Structure 1
């Protein structure tokens, strides 16, 4: 990914709202760094901390995942956690996962608006993350990376998935599927990134818009 810092890394559409936002490798890295600094400096995450990610397939979720990994913490998608990041409609799940731990809530608003009527004691991600630095030194002694798998195991799985899918660094992949499991994250996000491909992720897809988008976004392949 670093070989093409200015190239598009993730382009996100929401066809229900008309939203489109595109992040280069450098911009995604800056968001990931800001997230990692927020987790470590404000929410108390340390190497080995379990961080519940209760978020949809979204560009901010990609930044959250890399931010967690940069500080050596572990992404978990279910079960107990030390910290949770969630959308407003999943606060109850986050509370059940994190217990007395910290919870940050994402509005996912493209303009960075905070979550409306956020309960006292919860952190608004959009407000909090903007004050943190966009550079970070990766943790050299990380814990598990993804649902108990080590970083090496996750990378190996991503490379194997990329090979099985026939992905290359020139691919621009159109996708609508969710990232609900560890395998989803490996196959639908990391497999692309491990070979330097680019992702166009669409929420609430409009089929007519998808047909036009294939040409406008120079899509090379679409996933089911």
Structure 2
């Protein structure tokens, strides 16, 4: 899973553990979070432990990730893949990439959903024995039947633990697409964008919701990411200059 898991982050951490690997900002709320390679790897490790030790999940388990592009979404995805848990997404603007919607009656072991989408999708969230709301403050109570992801994941240490080995041919997504296949696609997209190691890529989250665009492709190229929610296209260039980003997607 070389191109679809925290091995990418760990490799970046060796180069410069203090530099931001993922910067998330929301132009509407003013939220801004910077995560170094070490910090993002820590969140991924905690998530993996939550799934593995807290939920009893691992290779062969399935997750539905009903989250928008966000730094916590990166932690959920990388953590799930670290634990060998395959995922499906719910997206709107996929630009021709697989949508990977959870299918009707598809067995799901764990669901991650955003706060504003619990109300909208209450009858449409896949039934799962484990349900988490991401994006809440640690002291916020989630809706009935859900647990607060930030509060729960904070109970676990950042250090990764041993899991069953995950092979390149294992399924990374619930449609059976392997880590190798997603890695190949990420590398092809990086080459198509002429994205190179050391680049800092500003991504319009609304226009590029698919994780292969805003997460896997930059990581595969060795680039860092500035993920902007509700970005005003008119100010994208100014935002890139302010964030010292040399590429815009």
- Give the structure-1-normalised TM-score: 0.87
Q: Does the 8 Å CA contact 2:203/2:225 hold for their aligned counterparts?
A: yes
Query: Structure 2 matches for 1:177-188, cutoff 5 A?
Result: 177-178=205-206, 180=209, 184-188=210-214
* Counterpart in the other structure of 2:243: 217
Aligned partner (choices 147, 170, 176) of residue 204 of structure 2: 176
Post-superposition offset of 1:115: 3.9
Aligned partner (choices 3, 24, 29) of residue 14 of structure 2: 3
- Give the structure-2-normalised TM-score: 0.79
Query: Structure 2 matches for 1:68-87, cutoff 5 A?
Result: 68-77=80-89, 78-79=101-102, 80=106, 81-87=108-114
Kindly tell me the number of residue pairs found equivalent between the two proteins. 216
* Counterpart in the other structure of 1:134: 158
Q: Which 5+ residue runs of structure 1 have no aligned equivalent?
A: none
- Please report the RMSD computed on the Cα atoms of aligned residues, expressed in angstroms: 2.1
Aligned partner (choices 22, 26, 30) of residue 38 of structure 2: 26
Query: Structure 2 matches for 1:33-44, cutoff 5 A?
Result: 33-44=45-56
CA 1:139–1:94 in structure 2 vs 1: closer, same or farther (change >3 Å)? Answer: farther
Tell me, what secondary structure is at the counterpart of 2:65? strand
CA 1:191–1:13 in structure 2 vs 1: closer, same or farther (change >3 Å)? Answer: same
Tell me, what secondary structure is at the counterpart of 1:44? coil
CA 1:123–1:193 in structure 2 vs 1: closer, same or farther (change >3 Å)? Answer: same
CA 1:191–1:100 in structure 2 vs 1: closer, same or farther (change >3 Å)? Answer: closer
Which range moves more in the overlay, 145-154 or 85-94? Answer: 85-94
Q: Which 5+ residue runs of structure 2 have no aligned equivalent?
A: 1-11, 90-100
